[in-house]
Copies of this chain bind each other. A is one copy, B any other.
């Protein structure tokens, strides 16, 4: 295996019906590079739970042997997974499945920063947790049918004793069966950590739309502010593996002692 011409377009598994190897008349669909195929295979293992959040995945050499490719190819696949925050490399130790139970990951999805001092987790006050049928707009964003069961959560978050965020969340009822106010209240740590550990759903990406609005009566009362105080309104959809939407979150942020921080590159 050392002096043969490399890369006869070997498919590392028997997954796809391989065809058209070295021929020059490859037409449109364009084959994906080996390392992309490896990346897809590793992602599938992550998704299937073969390696759990926080655990170490096999070493590069081991994966190279398993897939019958060079270490360099595995490396490039893992590089991309690390760039997408699906895994985390630790020199000298190994490569680990990313998890929401970590300092670093705490503020990955919450961009609201205190004007002064360092970011720190808030204190949750749950207002309501219930099962309901998904309204049309929620169903559309979560890729469900209108009327499908969803879990609804409403909470207020306090920072330094100041109520700052009021948010409503909708989660698919099937995947989050058994999520109750008690479970939420007794759980210490980030909510996405709970979802990951207890419900096997890991959020890996989100999109957010932000507007400015005026506080309505109910929200003003919860945040202990005057009606018509300007607030940031965020609508966030979070996705798990396979770009599947699994959470809709609508938040109102009080920006008197906080601001939404963003880096533009």
Contacts and interface: CB of A to CB of B under 8 A. Distances in A.
A122 interface: no
Interface stretch (A7-15, A153-161, A168-176, A254-262): A254-262
A130 interface: no
A104 interface: no
- How many monomers of this protein are in the complex? 2
A147 B153 CA distance: 52
Interface in A98-116: 108-109, 111
B205 A232 contact: no
Q: Kindly name the residue among A208, A230, A261 whose own CB sees the greatest number of chain B CB atoms within 10 A.
A: A230
A211 B259 contact: yes
Interface in A247-265: 253, 255, 259-265
A221 interface: no
A9 B214 CA distance: 61
Nearest to A209: B259
Interface in A75-118: 84-85, 108-109, 111
16 contacts: A84-B265, A108-B264, A108-B265, A206-B263, A207-B261, A207-B262, A208-B264, A209-B259, A210-B210, A210-B255, A210-B259, A210-B260, A210-B261, A211-B230, A211-B255, A211-B259
